[in-house]
Amino acid sequence: MQTEPRVPWDTEDVEHVPTRQRLLDRTIEVLDAEGVPGVKVHPIAAAAGVTVPSVYHFFGSKEGLIEAAQSERYSRVLLDSSRRFSLGVEDCADAAEFRDRCTNALLGFCDADGAERRLSRINALGSAYAHPGLLASINESQVVASSAFAEVIAKAQERGWIRPEVDPQVAAVWLMGSLLGRILIEMGPNPVDEGKWNQLFLDMAFMLLFGEAADRIA
């Protein structure tokens, strides 16, 4: 039996969350649980504690609501991932510690939670097909997130911990794109050994950033 998606705000605090945000939060919950077919205006409005006309006031149509929610969904996943990486490698004392933390941070994206995040991004990208407005919004989120990622790389480069010839922006986009590609072995039964994929990804990332392969994963 399917459980009711979790509402990200307490019932008693509904009035303190802006109406537009409540509608987006609820729609994202439905998208995560049921996909686009599960998005229905009346139940979403009721769960958000607003009237149906509010949906059309803020988003113009059901399609507008879905587009805005998919954009917000994509943005949240990306920005959260960028923050996780930044927090994972900040305040390093030396190059060796930076490499160790890079290992932990990058491998951390390869777990089950990372797989869910990748699936969410792929779903949003699929919805952007033939929807140029959504595609443009997703692109903006991608640029912001990759720039934040690149900033971490640039700071390490300034300290001499990353090869000087590396372009931080290019490296950030390559790393994010490579991780997104891991979805190809996460969709179901697959002959690819996930541990070997992780090792190859880490080796390629280390070759890019440091000019040498990573240590073997235990």
Report the chain's C-alpha Rg in angstroms: 20
Q: Are residues 119 and 145 in the same domain?
A: yes
Q: Are residues 172 and 131 in the same domain?
A: yes
Q: Are residues 98 and 143 in the same domain?
A: yes
User: Is 26 part of any domain?
Assistant: yes
Q: Are residues 37 and 73 in the same domain?
A: no
Kindly report the pTM of this predicted structure.
0.80
Give the pLDDT confidence score for residue 55 in this predicted structure: 94
Give the pLDDT confidence score for residue 61 in this predicted structure: 92
Under-70 pLDDT residues of the chain: 1-17
Task: Give me the CATH number covering residue 149.
Answer: 1.10.357.10
Task: Give me the CATH number covering residue 17.
Answer: 1.10.10.60
User: Is 1 part of any domain?
Assistant: no
Give the pLDDT confidence score for residue 130 in this predicted structure: 85
Instruction: Count how many domains the chain has.
Output: 2
With beta carbons less than 8 A apart as the criterion, state whether 183 and 122 touch. Answer: yes
Q: What is the pLDDT of residues 199-215, one digit of tens each?
A: 999 999 999 999 999 99
Give the pLDDT confidence score for residue 17 in this predicted structure: 66
Give the pLDDT confidence score for residue 6 in this predicted structure: 40
Q: Are residues 81 and 171 in the same domain?
A: yes
Q: Are residues 32 and 112 in the same domain?
A: no
Closest Cα to residue 22, out of 52, 44, 53? 44
Q: What is the span of the domain harbouring residue 172? A: 69-210
Give the pLDDT confidence score for residue 182 in this predicted structure: 97
Give the pLDDT confidence score for residue 99 in this predicted structure: 95
3-state secondary structure of 27: helix
